[in-house]
Structures are given as structure tokens and as C-alpha cells.
Amino acid sequence: MKVSETGEFGLIARLQKMIEKAGVANAPGLLIGIGDDCAAWQCSGKTQLTTVDSMVEGVHFTLDTITWRELGWKALAINLSDIAAMGGVARYILINLALPDDTETEDIEELYRGMIDLTKQAKTAIVGGNISNAPQVSITITVIGESLNDRILKRAAAKPGDAIAVYGWPGIAAGGLAMLMQKLKFAKEDATYFKNAFIHPVPRLEEGQVLVKNGIAAGIDTSDGLISDLRHICEASKVSARINVADVPVHEILKKNFKDKATEMALSGGEDYNLLFTGKVNIIDRIKKQLEFPVHIIGQIISGEPGKIDIFSAGKPVKLQNTGWTHF
């Protein structure tokens, strides 16, 4: 059945039933959820966090490379990752859908199943949203969160002398995107690994909270690419950075399948949604023991021109052709 036949309120009713049945309609402090003009909740005394992001068909995704359920997961994941980048706790989710009238109702239910899967994992709640007509699919999600304690991670908190550290393996999602868009053929296990990294990113909420608990002040998620996101930190903190290419972690699966392109993909490839942060070496060493995936120190924050990043390989400066994602 098409959404034009189901109707706006019929579709909302079906989705509300799914959300309530899945047990993701309530969260601490929630007073009114889906069904009223606004969602309403009682704020705690902690710092409130809000983020919003969109995925537009033909710009951020095509439905021939991603399933509706995968799309639901990813659309929510990129928003939850912003809360993780601040070391925060996700609380409430609002979803706005713009849909062509010939969209199948069952596809939208699959979209919501993907969102519900991640909502359960993140221990948060879907509390409202909106549905309207549009020429192509557009998904806009707002997530409301709060600080874990009295501190949050900020871009504007890096200091000269800080070590620069990255959590996880940068560039894997870029490998997944290249594989899907260029229709590259890899071994089955490798192809699955790349596809999951690009389509099924995991927002690092608990990991961001670990950073805050250990006193890290500066952080960001790696959505635009390692160098591009580091530049965001440096510009906000009015500092420069120095990176040693040999210290940048490049996963063996990336080296195996992309050969001499692997290192540049690790430096400039986006959509990994892991964490990049700065701090004292002894604190980073302590954090390494508390996280599941590896943490690598890749360089140092230095005084200098805000946003300037010097990249060195074997003591010689390196210039990248591509430094990360930009919308325009």
C-alpha cells in the first residue's frame, strides 16, 4: 500500500503502534510523547544537548545501494554520533519524513524498524515528529541529550602540548562507499566488513562518556574525515597540529583492497563516526585500557595558525589531494 493510500494520519498511527510495541516510546523525564502538538519532558539540571541532521535521497543515499532498514539505522546513527562527540547521553528523538506519495507504506515501516533497532541499543526514545509530501525521500532527525556530568567534550578545548588520538580505524567507511559506488568486487568477508562500516555505523555514545569521565575536554566525531575534523578542532581552539603519517592507523583490510590509496583514505575518508580527541598522553594511555577498539596517538597540538595542519611522512611534508567531505 502506498503512503498516499494510507494517509498521513494512518501512517502516523501505524508507526506510533510500532514504536510503542517496541518499548521505545518512553524515557526518563518524558511527560508527553507522540500524539500531541509537542513532546514534553522535564529537564534535569545537566547541560542540555541538541543536534539535527538530514539525509536526502540523491544527495546522501540512493535506494539501490541501501535497504530501508539500513537507511533508518544510519539516519539515526549520524545524529546520535553528534551526542557521542560531546560525551553526552541521548534522551529523546524527533523524526521528520518528507516522502513521495508513491512510497510504499511497508518501506517506511522498515525504515522505522532500523531506527527502533538503534533506539533500543542507545537506550533512548522516539517521542514525536512529522510527515509531509516531497518529490524525493528526505529524513531529518533531531536528538535531544544531556551531559553525563558537569563536563562535555568541545571542539574549542584543545591546547598546545596535547596529544591527538583517534579511536577505531579511520577510512573503512570510505572503503565501503568506494566499493558500493564503483561496484568493486572483494572477498565476501571483506565486502561485508566494508559495507557494514559505511551503512551501519555505530555511534560511540559509551566511548564518548568514557572520555568525559577521564577528563578529556576536546573531541569530535569523525564524520567529515580525520584531517577535516581535526581542522575543525584546531580552528575552534585557535591552534595548529602536526601529524605523523606512520602513526595513523590503517586497517589491514584497507591496505589489502585499496593498496597505495589506503593511507590517504584513512586520512581523508569520512563517515566513520568514531572519535577524535586530544589530551595528555598519560590520560590517553589510561583510556586505551578502557575501550574495546584501539586508540592511536597520531600527532600533537601545537601553537600556530588556527586550523593549520602539518602532515609529515618520514620527516618530509605531505600534501593531500582530498582532505575530507564538504557539502558544497
- As a whole number of angstroms, the distance between CA 81 and CA 206 comes to 11
Question: In angstroms, how far is the first alpha carbon of the chain from the final one?
Answer: 37
- As a whole number of angstroms, the distance between CA 327 and CA 195 comes to 22
Average pLDDT by stretches of 10, the chain with 328 residues: 91 95 94 93 93 93 91 97 98 97 96 98 96 96 96 97 97 95 95 96 97 97 95 98 96 96 94 96 96 94 96 85 51
pLDDT of residue 322: 61
Burial class (CB in 10 A: 0-12, 13-18, 19+), 259: exposed
pLDDT of residue 321: 65
Could you report the per-residue pLDDT of 286-300, keeping only the tens digit for each?
999 999 889 999 999
> To which residue does cell 510504499 refer?
104
pTM, two decimal places: 0.93
